[in-house]
Structure 1
Amino acid sequence: MNDDTGSIAAASPPRRTRRIVLLGLAALAVASALFAARGPLMMSAPACMAGRWDPCFGTFNGVVLMTLVTLPLALLVAWARARRRRTAGVASAWRMSLAEVGMIHGTVPFVWMTMMPGGGAGVVPPRVSLVPLRDLVTMGPVGLGGNLLVFAALGFFAPIRFAAPASAPRILALGAGCSVLVETAQYVLRLDRVSSVDDVLVNATGAVLAGLASRRWWRRPAEETLSERPRPVTAATG
């Protein structure tokens, strides 16, 4: 056996083991977070099961619960899209499908929560805070973490699916642009929420940090062109 072949074969198991360990740690972290938040989430479960949709989609706990409940459906959609692409001979079928579903399933619930009206919606005049870092100290750990997660899924999956946003400045611009749209909508619709520049800064930062976490899977322009092209089917020869 060639020395190079032997070295590659020897390096493969540790790399696979590392991936398994990382996936295990990620699953453990998610399970721990769900265990810690099980109380607030279960408060919305009886109302949802009884068909009272306002506690499911009109509260933060309800939206988080429904996001977790619909996760198997999102994975099923990703599987169906990947299978269809693989049948057509498209390369990177699973990666493309998971990225598409991940962007939507991981972003829409957070945007929905940011658009929930306050008690004075339609009555209280819209408020704007344009002084950077002034509202940052009043967010608290929960508010800061929530703002970091609003466009985290978009920042993580967008450069995996598309080559155009596959750079840190572009992910920053994407997160900031989407956040500006949300803050503008809050102001125009008079949702009794403060349209703050600090929200834009934290949302964009969360998108960039998540994007950097997925950097090893970012799509390149040449790869995007080839992956969308069906693989040629060659006839088997006897």
Structure 2
Amino acid sequence: MNRNPSLSAPPRGVLLVTLVTAGLVAVLFVLRRPLLMSAPRCLALRWHGCLDTENGVVLTMLAGLPLAALVVWALALGRRAAGTAAAWRTSLAEVGMVYGTVPMVWLTMMPGPGAGVVPGRVSLVPLLDLVTMGPIGIGGNLLIFAALGFFAPVRFAAVASVSRILALAAGCSALVEIGQYVLRLDRVSSIDDVLVNAAGAVLAALASRRWWRSAPADQSFDQERVERTRR
């Protein structure tokens, strides 16, 4: 058996942070040009042209990453001081789940030019709107609840299964579509949005499969840590 520490696999927490960082860098590289178009208004702290545009929201989200990282660090230190197991993984999952989902939902709730004037529109025929979304529309819908799908099973053992993540994302997406209709945001509340949103969450969940929380494993880890402390 090889007991050389230098050849051992890196900690799972390091791999998780590396994967998340790589994904963010890739997004920043792809969207660098349109994001820079919103930079002057966002730097001037203007609502119009920044937080009411897709590029502005994404740019603000990326600019706030250092603050999000600071929150992860503070939560993790507090948990480690309290003797909580998997402190870094849990803290990263909590912040990532919220920080990666709220701005995306904000984008879907932005009102159109006819908001408050035109009546709500509903499309309940599956796959009817899918052909009109285009690659950008499909990609955007896949990302809406991707952070939720990626981090929720890492944080909560209760949703650590594909079927539960599918149900969670579909339920959240349905609430968003209902909100668009009730608030008359000049958007189409489509069943295809729910399907693609849920599919994106499941794909993201599968990407984080090795870090999913397991209640028995976490309990045994806690017990082992307590025994080491007593010694």
Q: CA deviation at 1:15?
A: 3.5
Rg comparison, structure with higher value: 1
Amino acid of the residue matched to residue 65 of structure 1?
A: L
Partner deviation per Cα, 1:167-206 (whole Å, 9 max, x = no partner): 0000000110000000000010000000000000000000
Amino acid of the residue matched to residue 158 of structure 2?
A: A
The CA RMSD measured in Å over matched residues stands at: 2.8
Give 2:167's aligned residue. Answer: 173
Q: Secondary structure at the match of 1:195?
A: strand
Q: CA deviation at 1:106?
A: 0.5
Q: Which aligned pairs between 1:1-238 and structure 2 lie closer than 5 A?
A: 4=1, 7-9=2-4, 13=7, 15-16=9-10, 30-225=24-219, 231=226, 234=229
Amino acid of the residue matched to residue 130 of structure 2?
A: L
Q: Secondary structure at the match of 2:101?
A: helix
* Distance in 2 (alpha carbons) for counterparts of 1:146 and 1:31: 17
Where structure 1 has 5 or more consecutive residues not aligned to the other structure, the ranges are none
Change (3 A) 1:122 1:26: closer
Q: Is the 8 A contact 2:85 2:218 kept in 1?
A: no
Amino acid of the residue matched to residue 115 of structure 1?
A: M
Q: Is the 8 A contact 1:90 1:227 kept in 2?
A: no
Q: Is the 8 A contact 2:153 2:205 kept in 1?
A: yes
* Distance in 2 (alpha carbons) for counterparts of 1:28 and 1:225: 31
Q: CA deviation at 1:32?
A: 4.6
Q: CA deviation at 1:231?
A: 4.0
Q: CA deviation at 1:36?
A: 3.3
Q: CA deviation at 1:28?
A: 5.8
Q: Please report the TM-score for the alignment, with normalisation by the length of structure 1.
A: 0.87
Change (3 A) 1:219 1:25: closer
Q: How many residues align?
A: 230
* Distance in 2 (alpha carbons) for counterparts of 1:30 and 1:105: 12
Q: Is the 8 A contact 2:51 2:57 kept in 1?
A: yes
Q: Secondary structure at the match of 2:122?
A: strand
Q: CA deviation at 1:53?
A: 1.9
Where structure 2 has 5 or more consecutive residues not aligned to the other structure, the ranges are none
Q: Please report the TM-score for the alignment, with normalisation by the length of structure 2.
A: 0.89
Change (3 A) 1:46 1:15: same
Q: CA deviation at 1:51?
A: 2.2
Q: CA deviation at 1:223?
A: 3.7
